[in-house]
Amino acid sequence: MIELYNVSKTYRNSKNIKLKVFGGVNFNFPSKGMFFITGKSGCGKTTLLNILGGLDKPSDGDIVVNGKKYSAFSEKEKNEYRTNTVGFVFQDYNLIGNMTVKDNLKTAAEMQGKDIGEEEIVSALSEMGVSDYVFHYPYELSGGQQQRVAIARALLRKSNIILADEPAGNLDSVTAEEIFTILKKLSEDRLVIVVSHDYANAEKFADCILRLADGYLMTERQLEKSIEDNSSFKTKQKMRT
């Protein structure tokens, strides 16, 4: 579904010096499954996720979506991709505090030009196990409940791709596992890509773990070989293959 060909991202600092975030990223994401992108803070995980979602663009390389280069998309096609094909789940939930759960979801749909009824909203919330909170405000919900609402919002988009940026970063370990369980279930019929520092849950739930290291995106098998072959790695890390 999404293919990355030599994708790189660079910035220029205040002294106009070019700084590489990552480079030479190559990977083919299928139409379904759960993929975790891990790596140290500042390695570019969120930047890569934003590029996959069309919120940012690479400095070099190509992204191909369903056989067509994203750079060749018309503005209408790009907007369609960002608003309908992709659903975002953020660490901070991004719910509007002075709106009820129902109005949050209805407003998000209206921004896409969709008119959804209460029955459809309740159905999505029910799938997430939070249908009892349709008339509650975000501040009346726990972090886990708010994240479930945020995932329901992505479901109402009918998204084929869900991009989740540290979706359990503000949650306790039990609630985090519940959220990853939900995302795993959703990945049975769509592509779910998760950026996370939570390596334990990555090992438990991922169909494939990818790691950004030294500016490159590698599967664990590739990374293990890199560690074996590169003397700059002083300590061999145990990796799952």
- pTM for the full model? 0.86
Using alpha carbons, list the distances in angstroms from residue 178 to 3, 57, 60, 153, 234.
30, 32, 37, 17, 36
How much is the pLDDT for 12?
85
Domain tally for the chain? 1
| CA 38 remoteness from chain centre | 12
Q: Examine residue 194 and state whether it is found in any structural domain, yes or no.
A: yes
Q: Examine residue 213 and state whether it is found in any structural domain, yes or no.
A: yes
CB contact burial 100-109 (16+ within 10 A = b; e otherwise): bbbbbbbebb
Q: Give the number of other CB atoms < 10 A from CB of residue 192.
A: 30
Q: Examine residue 205 and state whether it is found in any structural domain, yes or no.
A: yes
Residue recorded with tokens 């500042």: 42
Residue recorded with tokens 């979506």: 65
Q: What is the CATH number of the domain that holds 107?
A: 3.40.50.300
Please give the residue range of the domain that contains residue 152.
2-229
Q: Examine residue 235 and state whether it is found in any structural domain, yes or no.
A: no
Q: Examine residue 121 and state whether it is found in any structural domain, yes or no.
A: yes
More confident residue, 45 or 16: 45
Residue recorded with tokens 């659903």: 87
- Reply yes or no on whether the pLDDT at 24 is more than 90: no
pLDDT for 68-107, tens place per residue? 999 999 999 999 999 889 999 999 899 999 999 999 999 9
Q: Examine residue 172 and state whether it is found in any structural domain, yes or no.
A: yes
How much is the pLDDT for 112?
78
Asked if 45 and 53 count as a contact pair (C-beta separation under 8 A), the reply is no
Residue recorded with tokens 């890509």: 193
SS3 letters across 207-235: CEEEEEECCEEEEHHHHHHHHHHCCCCCC
